[in-house]
Each structure stands twice: as structure tokens, then as C-alpha cells.
Structure 1
Amino acid sequence: MKVIKSKISGLKIIKSKIFKDKRGFLKEVFMQKIIKKENFIFDIMSRSKKNVLRGLHIQLDKMQTKLITVTEGKIFDVAVDLRPKSKTFGKYVGLKISHNDDFSFLIPSGFAHGFVCLSKKCTIYYKTNNYRVTSAERTLAWNDKSLNIKWPIKKPILSDKDKTGIDFISLKNELKK
């Protein structure tokens, strides 16, 4: 395994080793000695059907670092920098990830995270360093014009929570408190 930095400080691609043969494959996903600073304590799986968009989610209390791995299907994954003192505050990285890829996406605390399922169905497995605190969860509007995220679909399927995401300016003001 090796770590590759992205264009935004803190976001990392974790390249995996995949061992393939005629039976299938074995993929290394996590090694504590590679991702040393994180103490992952909570694992989550999510399944979605095509065009479901989940996010952009962040916890304002007990923020979560996430290690995202796609175990089935293909997604467009997005991380938005919401660290107020960051030089890239309000910028995002979006990338396609499938179960065939040899990497996972490490998103540090202070980022909103979301994804859209691009295949018939998707299963996402992620590790986090904090438990969910529902009272501290916020949803940033997936289509906020000031973020200008280039989502690969125009009309996603959204939960009620994701339909009512707040705009970037409102969340920015809440982060300053």
C-alpha cells in the first residue's frame, strides 16, 4: 500500500495491493502502519441504486475522518473542504471509484462528503474515527452554485434530508461560531 496526495491538503488516495487469479481477487484495504494518525472505531456499509446521491454530509461536533472503499459498483465521490483556516476552504475533489480500482479515498475531518451511484447498484464500505452524532450532522446542498460541483448526473434521487441541504454561505457562518 502507498499514500498519494491530492490537490487539497489532507485528502489522500490509498493505493492498494490487489492479488488476482482465476478464482477472483484479494484486495488490501487498510493497514494501521500506513494510516498511522487515525484510530478508526466505527465501520459503515451503504448500498444505493443508480442515480442515488447521498450527501454532502458533515458532523460539526466530533468530526469524522473517513476511509471510503467501493466494494460493488461505481460512484462519483466528492469531498468539500470546510476547514475555515484552510487555503482550499470551499473547494472540492471529485473522483470516480469502482470496485475494480486499486485505491480507497481518505477524507480527513473537516470535509463534507457525498457520492452518487453511477452503476446499477453500489455498495460503499467506510471506516470512521468517530461515531455518528445525529444532532451535530449537517447536510450541505449537493447543488450549491457557489461550490460548482461537476456532478455527472443532473437529476439525482435524494432522501428528504438531502433535498433540504443548507447552502454553503449558511454552513460557512455556522462553522465560524
Structure 2
Amino acid sequence: MKYIKTQIPDVVILEPQVFGDDRGFFMETFRVDEFLANCSKRMFVQDNHSKSSVGILRGLHYQTENTQGKLVRVVSGKVYDVAVDMRKSSPTFGQHVGVVLSAENKKQLWVPEGFAHGFYVMSDSAEFVYKCTDYYAPESEVSIRWDDPELGIKWPLVDGELPSLSGKDEAGLSFTAAPKFD
């Protein structure tokens, strides 16, 4: 596994070594010893799996309590995945990392606690799986507007069409109004 630091050093791209032939492929997707050495000294307590259609945008989400670090990957399809630094004390506060994750490139993204996270589906459908360092706590979940001009995220919208959002995400807060971490 290659561990690639991004422009926000706490956010890491994991690129597995894939062994394949005409029968298929094999790859390691997670090793606790390597994760602890290269990403975070955190353990995972919950795994999630979602499926979404083209044009759906989920996020930008985070929890103010039971904060979650997430190790995310795509097992079918392709998404544009984004992590936004919500830590006021960080030199990268308010900045974001965006990366294409797909079943084809097999990359993963480590999104630490203190970040808002979201993804946009670029293929007909996508299955998105992720490990979390804490349990889902809907009462403390926050959603930030996907198109907040202060963040300036360049989402690769399919055919320039606006994304399909949940009601929660349509009512998302501005970055300025959203609660921050110290």
C-alpha cells in the first residue's frame, strides 16, 4: 500500500498494490499496523455501505459529537470525494481536498476527525464503503452547503446539471455559520 499525503497532510490517499491476471485481481484494502503508522492512531468501530445514482451528492457532513474519522473507497462506479478542514487551529482551516475514487483506480481516502466530508456520483451508479472511528450520531450531524462560495469546491458535475440532494443537504449551513472544531 502506498500512503500519499495531500495538500492537507492529515488527509491521506491510500493506493493499494493490485495483483491481477486474466482470472481477476487481489489486493489488501486495510492493514491495521500500516494504517496506525501512516494515517492515524485510531481504531474503527463501524463499517457502512451506500449505493447512489449518477448526479447524487451526499454531504458535506460531519458530527460535532462522536466525531468520525472515515476511511472511504468505491467498490462500484466512480465518485468525486471531498474533505473540508473544519479545525480552526489548523493551518489548512477552510481548505479542502478533492479526489476521484473509483472501482477502477481502487484508491481510498483517509478523512480524519474534524473534517466535513461529501461525495458526488460521476458514474451511472456507485457503491461507496467506509470505515468510521465512532458511531453515527444523527442528533449531532451537521451539513454544509455543497456549493458554498467560501469553500470554492469545483465539483465535476455531469453535463453541468445541478446535483440531486437530500432535504438535509438542501438545508445545509454556510461554511461561516457551521460549527467549527478548536
**TM-score if structure 2 supplies the norm length?**
0.93
Percent identity, aligned pairs only, is 39
Q: Would the aligned equivalents of 2:68 and 2:112 in 1 still touch at CA under 8 Å?
A: yes
- Residue 9 of structure 2 corresponds to 9
**More off after superposition, 13-22 vs 85-94:** 13-22
Once residues 66 and 51 of structure 2 are traced to their aligned partners in structure 1, the CA distance between those partners, rounded to angstroms, is 24
Q: How many residues align?
A: 175
Secondary structure at 2:72 match in 1: strand
1:151 aligns with 2:123: no
- Residue 116 of structure 1 corresponds to 120
Q: Would the aligned equivalents of 1:16 and 1:102 in 2 still touch at CA under 8 Å?
A: yes
Secondary structure at 1:106 match in 2: strand
Over 3 Å counting, the alpha-carbon distance change for 1:119 and 1:138 in structure 2 is: same
Once residues 100 and 106 of structure 2 are traced to their aligned partners in structure 1, the CA distance between those partners, rounded to angstroms, is 12
1:98-128 superposed Cα distances (whole Å, 9 cap, x missing partner): 1111421001000000000000000001001
Question: AA paired with 2:104?
Answer: N
Over 3 Å counting, the alpha-carbon distance change for 1:2 and 1:176 in structure 2 is: closer
Q: Would the aligned equivalents of 2:143 and 2:168 in 1 still touch at CA under 8 Å?
A: yes
Once residues 40 and 60 of structure 1 are traced to their aligned partners in structure 2, the CA distance between those partners, rounded to angstroms, is 18
Q: Would the aligned equivalents of 2:86 and 2:181 in 1 still touch at CA under 8 Å?
A: no
Once residues 89 and 177 of structure 2 are traced to their aligned partners in structure 1, the CA distance between those partners, rounded to angstroms, is 17
1:19-39 superposed Cα distances (whole Å, 9 cap, x missing partner): 111121122111001111120
Question: AA paired with 2:53?
Answer: K
1:72 aligns with 2:72: no
Identify which of 29, 41, 44 aligns with 2:45: 41
Question: AA paired with 1:164?
Answer: A
Secondary structure at 2:108 match in 1: strand
Once residues 160 and 102 of structure 1 are traced to their aligned partners in structure 2, the CA distance between those partners, rounded to angstroms, is 31
Question: AA paired with 2:61?
Answer: H
The CA RMSD over aligned residues, in Å, is: 1.2
Identify which of 132, 138, 145 aligns with 1:141: 145
Question: How far is the alpha carbon of 1:176 from its aligned partner?
Answer: 6.2
Q: Would the aligned equivalents of 1:29 and 1:69 in 2 still touch at CA under 8 Å?
A: no
Once residues 3 and 176 of structure 1 are traced to their aligned partners in structure 2, the CA distance between those partners, rounded to angstroms, is 26
1:125 aligns with 2:129: yes
Unaligned stretches of 5+ in structure 1? none
Once residues 100 and 29 of structure 1 are traced to their aligned partners in structure 2, the CA distance between those partners, rounded to angstroms, is 14
Once residues 164 and 9 of structure 2 are traced to their aligned partners in structure 1, the CA distance between those partners, rounded to angstroms, is 31
Question: AA paired with 2:6?
Answer: S
Once residues 72 and 157 of structure 1 are traced to their aligned partners in structure 2, the CA distance between those partners, rounded to angstroms, is 19
**More off after superposition, 65-74 vs 94-103:** 94-103
Q: Kindly report structure 1 stretches of 4+ aligned residues shifted beyond 6 Å.
A: none
Once residues 34 and 143 of structure 2 are traced to their aligned partners in structure 1, the CA distance between those partners, rounded to angstroms, is 30
